[in-house]
Structure 1
Amino acid sequence: MDLLMIAQASIALLMITTPPDPVKILFFNTIVANREERRAPAALKVALIVAVILGGSALVGRQLLGLLGINLGAFGIVGGLVVAGMGFEMLYNGAPSKTQGKEIEEEGPEDEGSLIMPLSIPLIAGPGAITTAITLAYQGNQIDPLIATLIGVGVVAVVIFVSMNYLGGLISKVSERTMELLLRIGGLVLATLGVQILLGGVVRYFGL
């Protein structure tokens, strides 16, 4: 197993889901407010929901595309464009991509049902993250990209649990400028990976 492939999948998924985003964590904090005993179970619930959504997308994405008659090379090209576009959006705006439900964050939570929607989906496992998971999993005919993506999903789940359960009080103290800088750096990495995925799709589509 290529460790670089695992690292790329993990970084791409972390950058697009951005679990430590202060807004997401404050959203979570509001849901579990005055119920600290519910923090760990709630954080675990969010992590598992996101893992199932992204892991399931990675596992069945290829079959679904086949049923729809979509060429994997073409999907790689479009998926690469989407990932790169989200990366450029983060790079220039210094904020999470709107395809991940950024606008919903401003509405605030209502109750614990909000752990599933809109927190788990689409704020964390949004369309962009799902597209990224499918695209990363099928960059070639080997099984390695799929395994690397599933490991990346596991990494995301762990980071979500740690972020929600332990960093709730700390992350809100991170300055807006610092978070903006981190998101811009993450956007650059994500845009680069998106272009790489796009080029891989071109090679696969044209059989180069």
Structure 2
Amino acid sequence: MEPWSEYSRFVIALFAILTPFAAIPIFLSLTEGRSEQERASTASSAVLTVAAVMLTSAFLGDLILKVLGTSLDSFRVGGGLVLLLISLSMLNAKVSPVQHTATEANEAEQKAAVGVVPLGIPLMAGPGSISAVIIQMQRGEGWEHAAMVVACILFVCMLLWISLRMAVPIGHRLGQTGLNIMNRLFGLLLAAVAVEIIATGLRALFPGWQT
């Protein structure tokens, strides 16, 4: 089991990756004209999708690495680069193309189950969050570590659900400027985490660099 600080950092990083403040304007746009009950259903389906993807990635991460024939340290470097790209987009108050493209946004307007696609996948549960979960699960061993990772995922999903359920008052209170500021703040935190993940992977891949 890892130190408590590692799990708290994972919670902050995962919350930043899932970008609720970037998702709120998209959520409001996709659910415009719908009743409060329909918005609640959309928020629930989005969060359940995120939770399912995250938990599946956590427990199948080892198998995924073996099938790909890659080491954890190589995956750390690759996953860290994905997180860094997402954080740079967040610093510019934009949704990264890694998470959500214009084509997917146009297609989503024609779909009824927008909570699953594109809100759940790939806007929130995308390559960045999947990489972060797999890396965190592989950091330790034992059922205690696995239980803590699962607890962190479920806690973040609860925060995400609260954010989406309160999307209307949050959007009205903060406005686009306030949402952009929060997005940039979490982007800065995510950039720091991404750099450390990349550095850890590079140190393990190239031990001679430490001398």
TM-score by length of structure 2 reads 0.83
The residue that corresponds to 2:114 in the other structure is 114
The residue that corresponds to 1:5 in the other structure is 6
CA distance in 1, matches of 2:72, 2:128: 17
Report matched runs for 1:56-67 at 5 Å: 56-67=56-67
CA distance in 2, matches of 1:179, 1:34: 22
Structure 1 residues 169 and 163: alpha-carbon distance in aligned structure 2, compared to 1, 3 A threshold: same
The residue that corresponds to 2:36 in the other structure is 36
**Residues 171, 179 of structure 2: 8 Å contact kept:** no
CA distance in 2, matches of 1:73, 1:147: 23
How much does 1:198 deviate?
A: 1.4
The residue that corresponds to 2:25 in the other structure is 23
Q: Which runs of 5+ in 1 are unaligned?
A: none
Report matched runs for 1:40-119 at 5 Å: 40-91=40-91, 93-103=92-102, 106-107=105-106, 109-119=109-119
Amino acid across the alignment from 2:26: K
Look up the SS of the partner of 2:114 in the other structure.
Answer: helix
Deviation track 1:30-88 (CA, whole Å, cap 9, x = no partner) reads 3xx44323343332222111101011112111211112211111111221222123223
Structure 1 residues 152 and 24: alpha-carbon distance in aligned structure 2, compared to 1, 3 A threshold: farther
Amino acid across the alignment from 2:13: A
The residue that corresponds to 1:126 in the other structure is 126
CA distance in 2, matches of 1:101, 1:206: 34
**Residues 73, 201 of structure 1: 8 Å contact kept:** yes
CA distance in 1, matches of 2:21, 2:130: 18
**Residues 23, 105 of structure 1: 8 Å contact kept:** no
The residue that corresponds to 1:201 in the other structure is 201
CA distance in 2, matches of 1:178, 1:6: 28
Further displaced range: 105-114 or 128-137: 105-114
CA distance in 2, matches of 1:149, 1:98: 27
Deviation track 1:147-187 (CA, whole Å, cap 9, x = no partner) reads 4443332122112221222x132122122222222111111
Amino acid across the alignment from 1:77: V
How much does 1:145 deviate?
A: 6.0
Report the aligned-residue RMSD: 2.5
Q: Percent identity of the aligned residues?
A: 28
**Residues 137, 146 of structure 1: 8 Å contact kept:** yes
Q: Which runs of 5+ in 2 are unaligned?
A: none
**Residues 81, 198 of structure 2: 8 Å contact kept:** yes
Report matched runs for 1:115-154 at 5 Å: 115-138=115-138, 140-143=139-142, 146-154=146-154
Look up the SS of the partner of 2:20 in the other structure.
Answer: coil
CA distance in 2, matches of 1:159, 1:116: 18
How much does 1:26 deviate?
A: 0.6
CA distance in 2, matches of 1:72, 1:100: 23
